[in-house]
Structure 1
Amino acid sequence: MTDPDIPPLFRISAPGKRICFWGAPAHVPAYRSLAEGLDATGANTGNLFIGHGLFHGTDCLHKAFHPGFGAIPAERLHEHFDMLFVPASNFVGNGVDLTVHAEYFERARLPIFCFGLGSQLKPGEAPALKPGTEKFLRLMSERGGSIGVRGAFTAEVLWDMGIRNTSIVGCPSLLGLRAGTLARLATARPGLERIAVNFSNNVRRHALHPDAMRATENALFQRLLGENAYYMLQNEQPEMDFLAAMAAGQGDRAAAAARSIADLFGVSASRGELRDFVERRIRIFFSVEDWVGCMGTMGVSIGSRFHGNVAALLAGTPALFLVHDMRTRELCELLRVPHVMLDRPRPAEEVMERAASLDYAPFLAQFRRLGIEWRLFLERNGLGLGFHQAEMAEPVAA
């Protein structure tokens, strides 16, 4: 694990600016239950990496998350802030409704900087966005120099909508990378003696190939029941219900949740290893620092959750991304991280063999290029990019 006191490689520079953040959160306040903590993350703990990366990666005069639409009238927001930063997630989706947000920020009339916008659509699926969501996307286009999108797929979706001022920049979660973590990734050899795993078993309906995804995740789960593996949650309900029941001492509820987990992964609920695994091997974090710290103790991370694997990268731990939808695919293709397409059922041994031989040289080369694109992107929005490592600012050879 690298020293957290060493600054990240990049800093967004907005000298003299008062920045209002709205979107993915960076922190979770004190919570009384797992459900309350999850709700504070925007219903997915992976969102914390988006908000945390952009918030802590920005240098400015003053910064704060928006206190709530009822706290500051939209027409008075400019008295408190000079610019709106949006650490974005999957806003470009047919089920997303941003009507209230569009109306508020239209009246606020602040410049808008958006980083990390992604699409929920499938290839060939026609956008059927809520009117308020489309209005919000167009507002960000009009109020900003360039919208930062996760990958080429999202850029194409917006292009077809007539929104052309986009920059393909990936995710702001990567602003947390440090020189030490990149050095570790350059030399690290994946170790299967201590494995972190993550699954998207509750969103398989979004998969490009749902049956292949289900078969691959189930096979991997069953394979890892007997290994020194740790299951990192993000918002999986039966697993979270099991943790909550255990914490409350509700044995019957815990047993029912364990049966649901068994059903999801196609394993017998009576299998002895299952109960031991769910009792001792499941983890959930509501702090980026704690999550990254844990991942620094792992030999490798494997799974279909993008930000679950980003937690590993921020710790310098190699990760294998299991790609099941366009959201993950466009990011993996942009970043050139090791990934496997779940376009057919993948036997667990195939996945494990791939995880044991990860090569992060393509990612490291691409990351240098991405740093240059970030600089151009920020300049288009009237911002700057500071480099804490001189070599990262050098032009990349063709």
Structure 2
Amino acid sequence: MARLLIRSGKDPFTPVVAESTLTQDVFNSNSGNYLFQHSVWKALAIDGAELVSNSTLSERTSPEPGDADRINETFDHVVIPLANAFRPEFAPRLDRLSELLEGVTVPVTVVGIGAQAAHGQGVESLSEIDDSVRRFVAQVLDRSASIGVRGEFTSSYLQRLGFPADSIDVIGCPSLFLHGPDHRVERRVASIDTDSPLALNLTPEVPGVGAFATAQAERHPNLTYIGQDANDLRLLLWGVPFPHVDDLAVPVHLHHPLYQQDRMRLFLDTWPWYDFLATQDFAYGTRFHGNVAALLAGTPAMLLAHDSRTSELADYHRMPVRSMPELSADVKAEELFDAADLDGFNAALPEGFARFTAFLERNGLEHRWQDGRSGAEFDARLAAATFPPPVHPLVAADGSEIASRLQWLRDGMVLDITRHAQAYEHPYPHPPWRGAGSRHARILATTEDKLAAQRRQIEELTARIDTLERTTLVSLVRKVVRRVRRWFAR
């Protein structure tokens, strides 16, 4: 059977504690990445196939000599699930992936990639990354039948760069196909009120988000804010505020009421996330995958779209959506719930699923929904897995959160992260990860530099000693010979 190398932070079964997730950036800066990565994983994990996570290492540093050869020798196919990768911030990673792919000869399939522009801007606003995108897509299409993109906005962008329309398949985000073509979302309650259990997701940088978040928290005492990115996790774990958000009304610091009232959570795996959202009556907010997680849990959700990336996906999947580039305290959750069109979403899902699976088959990827294929091994492995609980704020009443942090510090997070008992082990370390840009990476790099300098000093001193020993021995022999000669000359 096929052996696949999958771009993902980790596989869907391996539990990784919160501290390791943050320190080693296992979820690649946002837990929402797991939704599409693990949905693709589930689709391709047919019985007998072997899937291996690359831990997203291939894009963090430039490839080393032999990396591509190792892939060619070890794997039959490289599968790269991606999200909003066509954006300036991601361009360096895209370039490193392109550099690696230049030496890869096995098939390479990109699933669900998207372009991101600010609200109201067109594809021309992405001109600064044109060269990086053109290089990457050309490498992919040399090794696959087509590239799978999120929507028409991304398709039009690639066509503007000169790629033919018949090499671009619009497939949406694969996260929504986790449960196959028959998944449906229905209202569990006819309406919501002040006391309803609600799940809120936010992008802290969106204008007006502070007033919006504060108003929602005050109106709905049973509302829980679900964080997703590394800054959220750092805040929950260590109380460190977001470094770039100054509005104190945004839940990005430990003094915010949502933090102090223990009404914030971050899930380290998708499966517990779905379980929690299944207990809520409604989810809403600006995070695309935060709302997808609710829909996958069977819970109604409303996306508040603030850029081209989220609008493109919502339009494709006919998700309940409201365009809202700026948030307001006047937004009422009850009105959003009533306006959520689940009929459109339910009707679109089987059609989108058919296009998604056709794309996989076009690119030679077998999947669990094909006749004669089964994903029973995946299902059994998932059923046997255990996952960490959601991360709470430090103020959790029973003190367990603080105790967990203290235990981590006691075990030596900073000084011995590479050998920590709960450190995440990369299954396919290529190239070896050193946590580029982190404080731990600088500590390790400094230590290695010092050790290298010490080794050089030892080698130099050893050479000098050898020279002195040889010189001293020769001098001693000459002295003895002179004395012997003088004795015989008497």
Q: TM-score range by the shorter chain?
A: 0.7 to 0.9
Q: Does 1:359 align with 2:341?
A: yes
> CA 1:335 to 1:46, structure 2 compared with 1: closer, same or farther past 3 Å?
same
2:406 — aligned with what?
none
In terms of mean alpha carbon deviation, does 82-91 or 169-178 score higher?
169-178
Q: Does 1:263 align with 2:247?
A: yes
Matches within 5 A, 1:195-344: 195-202=198-205, 204=206, 214-215=207-208, 218-227=211-220, 228-235=222-229, 237=231, 239-245=232-238, 254=239, 257=241, 263-265=247-249, 274-275=256-257, 277-343=259-325
1:13 — aligned with what?
none
Shift of 1:363: 0.6
Structure 2 stretches lacking a partner, 5+ long: 58-62, 372-490
Shift of 1:217: 5.7
2:105 — aligned with what?
109
> CA 1:188 to 1:369, structure 2 compared with 1: closer, same or farther past 3 Å?
farther
> CA 1:283 to 1:263, structure 2 compared with 1: closer, same or farther past 3 Å?
same
* Separation of aligned partners in 2, 1:270 and 1:168: 42
* Separation of aligned partners in 2, 1:380 and 1:38: 35
1:163 — aligned with what?
163
* Separation of aligned partners in 2, 1:75 and 1:282: 45
Structure 1 stretches lacking a partner, 5+ long: 1-15, 205-213, 246-253, 390-398
Q: Is the 8 A contact 1:94 1:130 kept in 2?
A: no
Shift of 1:162: 1.3
Deviations 1:39-98 (A, max 9, x none): 111111111111111112213421111375569631232221111100112221123212
Which residue identity lines up with residue 48 of structure 1 in the other structure? Y
Q: Is the 8 A contact 1:301 1:320 kept in 2?
A: yes
* Separation of aligned partners in 2, 1:301 and 1:34: 28
* Separation of aligned partners in 1, 2:261 and 2:226: 13
Q: Is the 8 A contact 2:288 2:310 kept in 1?
A: yes
Deviations 1:259-311 (A, max 9, x none): 998824369x999xx43654410000111111111111111101100011111
Q: Does 1:57 align with 2:57?
A: no
> CA 1:240 to 1:20, structure 2 compared with 1: closer, same or farther past 3 Å?
closer
Matches within 5 A, 1:17-28: 17-23=2-8, 25-27=10-12
> CA 1:18 to 1:260, structure 2 compared with 1: closer, same or farther past 3 Å?
closer
1:4 — aligned with what?
none
Which residue identity lines up with residue 81 of structure 1 in the other structure? F
2:364 — aligned with what?
382
Q: Is the 8 A contact 1:141 1:163 kept in 2?
A: no
> CA 1:138 to 1:82, structure 2 compared with 1: closer, same or farther past 3 Å?
same
Shift of 1:120: 2.1
> CA 1:149 to 1:298, structure 2 compared with 1: closer, same or farther past 3 Å?
same
* Separation of aligned partners in 2, 1:354 and 1:44: 25
Deviations 1:322-377 (A, max 9, x none): 00001100000001111110146555344431224423110111112112212332
Q: Is the 8 A contact 1:100 1:132 kept in 2?
A: no
Q: Secondary structure at the match of 2:299?
A: coil
Q: Does 1:194 align with 2:197?
A: yes
Give the paired residue count: 350
1:172 — aligned with what?
174
TM-score normalised by structure 1 residue count: 0.77
TM-score normalised by structure 2 residue count: 0.64
Which residue identity lines up with residue 168 of structure 1 in the other structure? V
Decide which structure has greater strand share.
1
Shift of 1:103: 1.6
Which residue identity lines up with residue 335 of structure 1 in the other structure? H
Deviations 1:128-180 (A, max 9, x none): 11755542222112211111111111111111111231111111112312578
Q: Is the 8 A contact 2:77 2:107 kept in 1?
A: yes
Q: Secondary structure at the match of 2:302?
A: strand
Deviations 1:188-225 (A, max 9, x none): 646450000000013x3xxxxxxxxx226622432323
Shift of 1:233: 0.4
* Separation of aligned partners in 2, 1:259 and 1:99: 27
Q: Secondary structure at the match of 2:340?
A: coil
1:73 — aligned with what?
67
Q: Secondary structure at the match of 1:322?
A: strand
* Separation of aligned partners in 2, 1:260 and 1:296: 33
> CA 1:387 to 1:117, structure 2 compared with 1: closer, same or farther past 3 Å?
same
* Separation of aligned partners in 1, 2:355 and 2:258: 47
1:150 — aligned with what?
150
Q: Secondary structure at the match of 1:40?
A: coil
In terms of mean alpha carbon deviation, does 301-310 or 227-236 score higher?
227-236
Q: Percent identity?
A: 25
Q: Secondary structure at the match of 2:135?
A: helix
Which residue identity lines up with residue 22 of structure 1 in the other structure? R
- Provide the alpha-carbon RMSD of the alignment: 3.2
Shift of 1:187: 6.5
Q: Is the 8 A contact 1:144 1:381 kept in 2?
A: yes
Q: Secondary structure at the match of 2:45?
A: strand
* Separation of aligned partners in 1, 2:27 and 2:353: 28
